[in-house]
Structure 1
Amino acid sequence: MMRKTNKRLFCVCMQTSQNILITKANGEQELFNSEKLFRSLVRSGAEKETAEGIVEEIASNLAEGDQTRDIYHRAFARLKNIKNHMAARYSVKHALLELGPSGYPFEDFLKEIYIALGYTAKTRVIAQGRCVEHELDVVAMRGNERIGAEVKFHNSSAVKSDLKVALYVQARFEDIAAQSGAQTENDFTNKFLITNTKFTKQVEAYAACVGLQLISWDYPAQGNLRELIEQTGVHPISCLTTISKLTKRRLMDQGVVLCRQVREHMDVIDSLGLSPQSVARLFQEIDALC
């Protein structure tokens, strides 16, 4: 049970910790933002008093140069001690990094987000360009809207999608659009580049110039990946805390990429050799999360 938070002490910790530099995954340093940590904890489902207690505990033990990943693991551990599903929801950003190494599970995950938004969607679709054929990672349709999306997956949060990626993606869409006598199915009303990490500022500037739409974890301000996940309730299997990484990988290898898909694939669950108690804990977490 989280102890009751002293409001005055919490405010003091919040103010003091704002002056401590922490180290991001890419080696850059930034000031610790206790309010940002607090908001992420509340979004995970933690009560405000619980979130305050976790922030107070982390801030009071913070040292100059601490790694952001270590801060994440401390907060994750505290949430997991309270409720597994809160820890699962809090870990979604990191869980997306595990939808590899091929990136296909991430493409399948994005397809399910579009389906949850009312689109019909497919992955790995062949489209004929003027010069060559192209395999588009995700194609989604709803009414007169047709979306073509290229996906750039990274297994490290330190890696950003840079300008050469955007140039390459834009060139592919231009070749498809230039196909002589192109059929309607190759005419996209919206062209997207989607990544599970971040874009460089150059990419953002270039995309705005050529009309290429971007989605990353926190870009754009509205309609980013974090918001889409919260809006649709589509959670990756990799965020679950009650099964091992190996079990998650085996599920993904069988095409199970969403938490809510697990009950639809009981044959796969049976093949994993989990104990009845483990299966019960798994379903309990999924029910609370979804």
Structure 2
Amino acid sequence: MTKQVIKADGTLQAYDRNKVMRTIRNYGIAEDQAETVVSEIEKHLYDGMRTRDILRLIRTVGRKYQPAVAERTNVRRAIGMFRPKPDFELYVQALLAGSGYEVEEGRILQGRCGEHEVDAIAKKDGITYFVEVKHHHNHHKMTGLDEGRIARAIVEDVQEGYKEGRNHFTIDKAMIVSNTKLSAHAKRYATCWDIKHIGWDHPADENIAAMVTTKPLCPITLIKGVNARMRKNLVYEGIVTVGQLLAYSPAELAEMTDLPERDMIVIVDRAQKLVCQ
């Protein structure tokens, strides 16, 4: 009989070997070693085991095969450590730019009936989106329906304002980006009204989890040792991804951020290990 595991929200679900394998690979462990790691983890698996304990096992066993695993924290938790503004807004802009979008900073769009401040403008495949960013510190919290309703209203108002000559810039669609999973209701509403909704694991072909693991777009908060002061000073300089961090030497980072160079040497070394996985 399939063992049941307890998710972070307290609900039960059947143990899924494929999910565990995917997490192992996301830690940079080679395919042939991943099979060995999952087999060793399953020796300790029991009915009612918490998913967070499985993740802890993945890190413990995984670092035997990939030492850099020890320098990495949980990706979802790391993104949750960002502040909504400006940290997560900048991070979403970097994610989209790294995924083939032309990205512009947020602006105020004039609609027929009001002004709307949006977090970014993104263009891809001939479609212009306004981007609404939703961040939750608790990475297990669902993103609900309200954001979709607001986005739909903004699209309609801005398009009508453009028709009436109130502005010289219009948008085709709305895009909502959240660091958490979407509720079933939110997914249905977004699909019905053609709102592009990017969440932690949605849609299947373009989600935050996939963007982070397939490109050098890991958040700086993923690096062990990056504390609140470091994060704040780095973000002030526009550095929110590991790739952006590694564009500078420790000496340059220390001068830019007024942080000790010895700390930057450690952080850069750990960042290099994360990117080279």
TM-score by length of 2: 0.83
Aligned-pair distance for 1:68?
1.7
Change (3 A) 1:23 1:163: same
What pairs up with 1:76-87 in 2 under 5 angstroms? 76-80=59-63, 82-83=65-66, 85-86=68-69
Aligned-pair distance for 1:254?
3.8
**Structure 2 SS opposite 1:221:** coil
Whole-angstrom distance in 2 between the partners of 1:22 and 1:122: 43
Whole-angstrom distance in 2 between the partners of 1:220 and 1:143: 17
**Structure 2 SS opposite 1:161:** coil
What pairs up with 1:54-203 in 2 under 5 angstroms? 54-80=37-63, 82-83=65-66, 85-86=68-69, 91-100=74-83, 102-142=84-124, 144-179=126-161, 180-185=164-169, 187-203=170-186
**Aligned AA for 2:276?**
A
From 253, 256, 260, the equivalent of 1:273 is 260
**Structure 1 SS opposite 2:238:** coil
Change (3 A) 1:269 1:22: farther
Change (3 A) 1:82 1:97: farther
**Aligned AA for 2:253?**
V
Unaligned runs of 5+ in 2: none
Superposition misfits of 4+ residues, deviation over 4 angstroms: 84-90
Whole-angstrom distance in 1 between the partners of 2:151 and 2:136: 16
Whole-angstrom distance in 1 between the partners of 2:125 and 2:140: 38
Which residue is equivalent to 1:282? 270
Hey, which of these two has a bigger chunk of helix by percent?
A: 1
**Aligned Cα RMSD in Å?**
2.8
Whole-angstrom distance in 2 between the partners of 1:252 and 1:200: 30
Change (3 A) 1:212 1:58: same
Task: Please say if residues 107 and 123 of structure 1, whose CA atoms lie closer than 8 Å, have aligned partners that are also in contact.
Answer: no
Change (3 A) 1:63 1:104: farther
Task: Please say if residues 103 and 120 of structure 2, whose CA atoms lie closer than 8 Å, have aligned partners that are also in contact.
Answer: yes
TM-score by length of 1: 0.80
Aligned length, in residue pairs: 269
**Structure 2 SS opposite 1:227:** helix
Aligned-pair distance for 1:250?
3.9
Match status 1:22 vs 2:9: no
Task: Please say if residues 242 and 275 of structure 2, whose CA atoms lie closer than 8 Å, have aligned partners that are also in contact.
Answer: no
**Identical pairs, percent:** 24
From 33, 40, 55, the equivalent of 1:50 is 33
Change (3 A) 1:166 1:145: closer
Whole-angstrom distance in 1 between the partners of 2:43 and 2:21: 14
Task: Please say if residues 76 and 91 of structure 1, whose CA atoms lie closer than 8 Å, have aligned partners that are also in contact.
Answer: no
Aligned-pair distance for 1:40?
2.1
Which residue is equivalent to 1:10? none
Which residue is equivalent to 2:192? 209
